[in-house]
Amino acid sequence: MLVVISACGYKTNPRPATATVPAEVELVHAQAYKDRVVLKWDTPTKNTDASRVTDLSGFKVYRVVRKSGEECDNCEEKKSLLANIDYQNPSNATVDRGVVTFDDNAVSQGNVYYYFVSAYNFRGEESRPSQEVAVTFEKAPDAPENVKASVDPRGVNLEWTAPAADHAIKNFRIYRSDAGNHSDMKLIGTTKWGENSFRDKTAEISKTYQYAVSSLTMNRGISTESDRSSPVTVYYSAIHGMPPENVNTLVTRDGIRIYWDPVKVPGEETRYNVYRSEGRKMFEKINPQPLTNPLYFDRRVVKGREYRYAVTAFSKNRADQESSRSGTSAIIFKP
């Protein structure tokens, strides 16, 4: 639960400079979303005298609010207490492996929020406030559109369209979850500026994943993130890591024979498709039904014309998830 207190700032009793109190909380990271600001920081491990912290009791989050464009001179002196976080039993924050996460939901567009965080021990002795982090709270960008996924031996490839109305978008974040746990998406990467694609090289063979993408804008070094796109589901079959090898051709009196090494994957029934390019035309699939054996005889050829062939493999029950193509050199039909 978010605790908001209007006050003149938390005050403590004077203490000697050598008092054993928690050291200052180091860099506080801020991230803006369309309806909140999320703060994260590491729990201090040392006291001001360099001894190890053994009596950390909690944190205080302070805030100053200003309209966008207004200066905030001597901000630290104007701060008021926004939340008190119990380190042992946090009800208004989360603590995971030494990282504290706090959500400020009481935010409005057009404001700049200045945050400070301090730590205190069981005796109520408080550290100095952290350095301020300023967040300009503005309208979040729209989510990416038309997210599509494809697979090849190098991983899962994602492509999307940037929202047409948001020209200020700097880059995108990519999230992934196992198909059986849709709500637990984790950040796996961020694109560079202007890139609308991403390759997930960490995807594991024979697993199904869901992916989603968000947009990011930047203001004063703080990013504002959109909602995530509609998720896209993809199955990364073992076939994708094993395209057909040694694809060969043989000219006969009645046509051209295409043959290749079989693709064998434990637990998978393999099928094949054969593609043909005549002259410099696009490749087109020429087998009407999936092939169970690693060969195909093309009778629909014309004497003197040039052909190229390519073969893909796929699982019996996933015809839409083909491997990459393995091709042949050009061959002229001269029976």
Q: Is residue 74 part of a domain?
A: yes
Q: Counting beta carbons within 10 angstroms of the beta carbon of residue 104, is it exposed (0 to 12), middle (13 to 18) or buried (19 or more)?
A: buried
| Token couple for 186 | 């984790």
Same domain flag for 214 and 269: no
Specify the pLDDT at position 166: 66
The amino acid present at 65, given as its one-letter code, is V
Residue that finishes a domain, picked among 137, 157, 189: 137
Separation of alpha carbons 330 and 60, rounded Å: 72
Average pLDDT over residues 45-69: 95
For residues 193 and 285, membership in a common domain is answered with no
Please give the backbone phi and psi of residue 9, each rounded to the nearest 5 degrees, phi first: 110, 145
- pLDDT recorded at residue 247: 97
Q: Among 5-14, 57-66, 123-132, 203-212, where is mean pLDDT lowest?
A: 5-14
Select the highest-mean-pLDDT range: 2-6, 133-137, 324-328.
Answer: 133-137
Residue 297 lies in a domain: yes
Comparing CA positions, the residue from 156, 153, 325 lying closest to residue 240 is: 153
Give domain status of residue 172, yes or no.
yes
Instruction: Output the 3-class SS for 226-283.
Output: CCCCCCEEEEECHHHHCCCCCCEEEECCCCEEEECCCCCCCCCCEEEEEEEEECCCCC
Confidence (pTM)? 0.69
pLDDT of residue 125: 95
At 55, which CATH number? 2.60.40.10
Task: Give residue 293's pLDDT.
Answer: 96
3-state secondary structure of 41: strand
Question: Would you say residue 146 has pLDDT above 90?
Answer: yes
Residues 127 and 182 in one domain: no
- Our count of domains for the chain comes to 3
Specify whether the backbone of 149 is left (phi greater than 0), alpha (psi in -120 to 50) or beta. Answer: beta
Nearest to 124 by CA among 256, 275, 21, 238: 21
pLDDT of residue 182: 67
Residues in Cβ contact with 176 at an 8 Å cutoff, skipping those fewer than 6 apart: 185, 186, 188, 200, 209, 210, 211
Q: What is the β-pairing status of strands 94-96 and 99-104?
A: antiparallel
One domain, residues 250 and 191: no
How large a percentage of the chain has pLDDT more than 70? 92
The pLDDT value recorded for residue 323 is: 84
In a domain, 319, yes or no: yes
* Within-domain flag for 23: no
Question: 210: closest CA among 192, 171, 184?
Answer: 184
3-state secondary structure of 87: coil
Which domain-ending residue is among 104, 137, 170? 137
CB proximity list for 100: less than 8 A, separation 6 or greater:
40, 41, 42, 43, 59, 85, 87, 90, 93, 94
What is the b/e burial string over 284-314, where b = at least 16 CB atoms within 10 angstroms of the residue's CB?
eeebeeebeebebebeebeeeeebbbbbbbb
The beta strand positions in 26-105, using DSSP E, are 29-32, 37-42, 56-67, 80-86, 94-96, 99-104
Q: Which pLDDT band holds residue 3 (cuts at 50, 70, 90)?
A: very low
Which residue in 135, 79, 69 sits closest to 108, CA to CA?
135
Same domain, 40 and 86: yes
User: What confidence tens digit (pLDDT) does each residue in 251-287 have?
Assistant: 999 999 999 999 987 778 899 999 999 998 999 999 9
Range of the domain at 113: 29-137
Q: Is the pLDDT of residue 234 over 80?
A: yes
Rounded Cα–Cα distance for residues 172 and 157 (Å)? 15
Q: How far apart are CA 230 and CA 182, in angstroms?
A: 12
Q: H or E element: which one contains 297?
A: strand 295-298
Per-residue pLDDT reduced to its tens digit, 68-120: 889 888 888 899 999 999 999 999 999 999 999 999 999 999 999 999 999 99
DSSP annotation of 295: E
- pLDDT tier for residue 5 given thresholds of 50, 70 and 90: very low
For residue 318, the model assigns a pLDDT of: 78
Q: Is 183 within the bounds of a domain?
A: yes
pLDDT on residue 19 = 61
Q: Which of these three, 137, 159, 187, is where a domain ends?
A: 137
Categorize the per-residue pLDDT at 11 as very low, low, confident or very high, splitting at 50, 70 and 90: very low
